[in-house]
């Protein structure tokens, strides 16, 4: 039995990690469950290009034939985009997915696990999961949040999906000691909405300060992620009140028709898309790309900062005495 994780790095990702070039991990769930073909393949390609535009190497993660593949190429993305019924694999499902030997689409949680195991320090997703409405009855809290509380890497996102209970999502992250920082914004965004109406716990405008903050957080022994939010561009965003009204109507409809559990998220997103005459799908695509570009930029600055700090590091001066 192997004691090392069954990870296969693409040659480009392997070379980048060896050379200290910044790498940004990406999920495959958005390809298999987020958009229809061919928009899903187009979105994945555009997201990878956006990471490169930011200066980093994209590492899209998927599971196939008993291996966790990190750094899918164009042909592999096309296969994930066109193969039917690929299961969604969260962090709890990874062992079974690898053992069973079939294909699996990684979620935020499982991508974070795989990225950390490979030594990748940055992960990007447009909208993270969170605490669901009605949690007092269902205990429905995304495993994304649980994994953030366990995994030390930087998560760059456009906040959490607007279909969630966002105040409780922020409260959960605070309870789990996960720093939430808004990059060049005062507010916590809500996916394709620039603001959720909630102030962010912290704002940082300087990417070097952001990198140093993350490094200090981990150097003090914390094993949690650092969640960094970046809002969608003004021209791509949807008004939060408009989206929230559609969500509330959809929640009532879900309750009336008995839709529960994992089926709720897809139902709500489709209802919002209908209520906005398809604008939410267009905004979804746009925020995937804009978030990835910022992630590439932040990963690039972070890698440069770590390299510069290492070149001037004096281990004898880590602790001083008055």
pLDDT score, position 165: 94
pLDDT score, position 163: 86
Question: Which residues are annotated as catalytic?
Answer: 27, 161
**pLDDT tens digit string along 144-170?**
999 999 999 999 999 998 889 999 999
pTM above 0.85, yes or no: yes
**pLDDT tens digit string along 64-118?**
999 999 999 999 999 999 999 999 999 999 999 999 999 999 999 999 999 999 9
How far apart are alpha carbons 310 and 291 in whole angstroms? 28
What's the pLDDT band for 306 if we cut at 50, 70, 90? very high
User: Residue 63, exposed/middle/buried by CB under 10 A (0-12, 13-18, 19+)?
Assistant: buried
All structural domains of the chain, each given as residue ranges with its CATH number in brackets, are 7-307 (3.40.1790.10)
Rg of the chain over CA atoms, in angstroms? 19
């Amino acid at each position: 039995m192997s004691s090392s994780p069954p990870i296969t790095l693409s040659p480009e990702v392997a070379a980048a990690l060896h050379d200290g070039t910044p790498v940004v991990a990406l999920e495959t769930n958005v390809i298999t469950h987020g958009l229809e073909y061919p928009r899903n393949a187009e979105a994945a390609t555009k997201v990878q290009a956006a990471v490169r535009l930011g200066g980093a190497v994209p590492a899209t993660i998927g599971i196939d034939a008993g291996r966790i593949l990190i750094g899918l190429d164009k042909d592999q993305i096309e296969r994930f985009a066109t193969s039917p019924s690929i299961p969604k694999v969260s962090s709890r499902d990874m062992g079974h997915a690898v053992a069973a030997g079939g294909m699996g689409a990684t979620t935020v949680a499982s991508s974070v696990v795989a990225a950390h195991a490979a030594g990748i320090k940055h992960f990007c997703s447009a909208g993270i999961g969170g605490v669901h409405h009605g949690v007092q009855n269902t205990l429905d809290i995304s495993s994304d949040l649980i994994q953030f509380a366990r995994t030390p890497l930087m998560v760059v996102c456009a906040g959490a999906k607007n279909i969630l209970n966002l105040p409780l999502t922020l409260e959960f992250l605070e309870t789990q000691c996960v720093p939430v920082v808004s990059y060049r914004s005062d507010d916590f965004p809500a996916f394709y909405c620039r603001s959720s109406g909630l102030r962010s716990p912290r704002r940082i405008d300087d990417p070097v300060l952001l990198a140093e903050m993350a490094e200090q957080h981990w150097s003090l022994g914390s094993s949690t992620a650092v969640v960094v939010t970046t809002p969608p561009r003004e021209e791509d965003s949807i008004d939060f009140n408009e989206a929230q009204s559609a969500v509330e109507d959809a929640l009532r409809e879900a309750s009336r028709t008995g839709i529960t559990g994992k089926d709720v998220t897809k139902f709500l997103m489709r209802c919002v898309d209908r209520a906005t005459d398809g604008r939410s799908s267009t905004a979804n695509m746009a925020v995937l790309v804009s978030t990835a570009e910022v992630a590439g930029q932040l990963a690039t600055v972070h890698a440069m900062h770590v390299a510069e700090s290492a070149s001037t590091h004096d281990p004898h001066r880590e602790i001083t005495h008055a």
